[in-house]
Amino acid sequence: MRNIGPKSSREISEIGIENRDELRALGIEETTRRLLFRFGSEKKISLNYLYALEGAIHDRDWRDITPTRKQELRALLDALRHELSGDQA
């Protein structure tokens, strides 16, 4: 998949995604939720990781993501981290 390196590809495969169609069907929110649940204690899931996923879903370079969409992805990552940490706000 475009933008996805070997390590990320292994991680994505470990959460049950084998190709771009499966990634697209699951969507960025559920994919990120699964990555955070599976790997959150082992590594930091970065905003750049989400940019790479977004690019892979749409088969375009991650650097082509609009500033507005990047802001949405940042908010999504923050919300999911908060959700999975069990914090109550």
> According to the CATH classification, is domain 6-85 in 3.90.25.10?
no
The 10s digit of each residue's pLDDT in 9-22 is 999 999 999 999 99
pTM of the predicted structure, to 2 decimals? 0.88
Phi and psi for 44 in degrees, rounded to 5?
Answer: -90, 120
Please, which residues have CB within 8 angstroms of residue 73's CB and are 6 or more apart in sequence?
28, 47, 50, 51, 54, 65
The 10s digit of each residue's pLDDT in 20-40 is 999 999 999 999 999 999 998
Give the number of other Cβ atoms within 10 Å of residue 80's Cβ.
20
Cβ(35)–Cβ(15) below 8 Å: yes
Supply the angle between the helices 67-85 and 47-58 in degrees, to the nearest 10: 120
